[in-house]
Structures are given as C-alpha cells and as structure tokens.
Amino acid sequence: MTAAILTVDDSPSLRMAIRIALTGAGYDVTEAGDGVEGLSAAAAKKFDLIITDLNMPNMDGLTMIRELRKAPEQAGVPIIFLTTESDDAMKQQAKAVGATGWLVKPFVPEQLIKVSRKVLGR
C-alpha cells in the first residue's frame, strides 16, 4: 500500500516542493498549513509519516508534535521536522517532544526522499 505522508508547513511553495518530490517517489501526500490544521488532518486519517516545519503561525511545530504524541494512536508514527536553525537547541527541543528525525533546509528532493525511505522503510 502507498505510504501516506502528511506535510505541515506555512509556506505554500515549500509544501508544493515537498508534494512534488514525494508524489514523484510514489507517496500519497496530504498538506496542512499550520499546526492546528496538521492536528486535525492527523486526527482524521492515520498517516505513515508526518513532515513538519517548526516555525508556523497559530500553532508551531513543537506544540503540534507534543500534542500528537499525547494520542496513543500516534505512538510510533515517524515525525520528521524541517529546520533552518543553525543552533542545536531547537533540534534538541523537537526531539525531546517526540520527533523522530529532522531535515535541514535547504534540501534537495533526493534528501527528502532518502529521509522518508529511511524512516518508512519503503
């Protein structure tokens, strides 16, 4: 079965780039514009992987990851966050609230696909 991926980012162009890369690699991609939309998307459907930005209006990525991990059905779902932070603090915080891994912006599609393959195993 095609793996379903949720991408959460407030930047439409970035979501588009992610969607194009991942659908091209055969994944099924759903988009959300911020943490609030991301949570409701994740509540409506079970995703195999969630890729999220950290800096977003309404609800940031950290809060969304924390909320997601509270739900038992989201245990074990890989969450990859995108970061441009050069400092390690953000990365540590995201990991502490339950993120699986990260991807440093800017990235090329191959890196995105590679990371997705890595955590999905397919």
Partner 1 sequence: MSLQDPVAAFRIEAGELLDQIEQGLLDLGHRLDDRDLVDEVFRGLHTLKGSGAMFGFDALAEFTHHCETAFDRVRKGLAPATQELVAVILSARDHMRALIEGNGSGLEATGAAILAELQAAIDGASDSPPAVEPAGAVPVVPVAAAGSGSGWRLSFRLPADAMANGTNPLMLLDELRELGECRIVARTDKVPPLADLVPTECHIGWDVELRGDISRADIDDVFIFVMDDMELSVTPLEVAADDVPGAAPVAGADGSAAVQGVAPPVLAAIDSAAPGKSPAATPSAAPKSGESVRVPAERLDELMDRVGELVIVQSRLSQLASGQASASGNELALRSISEEIERLAGELRDTMMVLRMVPVASLFSRFRRLVHDLARETGKTIALSTEGETTEVDKTMIERLADPMVHLIRNACDHGLETPQDRLAAGKPAAGQVHLSAHQAGGEVLITIRDDGRGIDRERVRAKAEVQGLIQPDQAISDHDLLQMIFHPGFSTAAQVTNLSGRGVGMDVVKRTIESLRGTIDVTSKPGEGSTVVLRIPLTLAIIDGLLVRVGEGRYVIPLGAVEECLELSLEEHLRSRGRSFITLRDRLVPFLRLREIFDTGTRPDPHQKIVVIATGAERVGLVVDQIIGSHQTVIKSMSPLHRDVATFAGATILGDGGVALILDVVQLVTLGQHQEERLRAAG
H/E stretch holding 29: strand 28-32
Shortest CB 47 distance to partner 1, Å: 11
CA–CA separation, 48 and 78 (whole Å): 7
Q: Does 63 bind partner 1 (CB under 8 A)?
A: no
Q: Does 51 bind partner 1 (CB under 8 A)?
A: no
Amino acid at the residue 117? R
Q: Does 58 bind partner 1 (CB under 8 A)?
A: no
Residues of this chain, 76-95, that bind partner 1 according to CB under 8 A: 76-79, 82, 84, 86, 92, 95
Give CB contacts under 8 A, 24+ apart, made by 94-97.
94/54, 94/61, 94/62, 94/65, 97/62, 97/65, 97/66, 97/69
Among 40, 71, 73, 114, binds partner 1 (CB under 8 A): 114
Q: Which residues bind partner 1 (CB under 8 A)?
A: 10-14, 16-17, 20, 53, 55-57, 69, 75-79, 82, 84, 86, 92, 95, 98-108, 110-111, 114-115, 118-119, 121
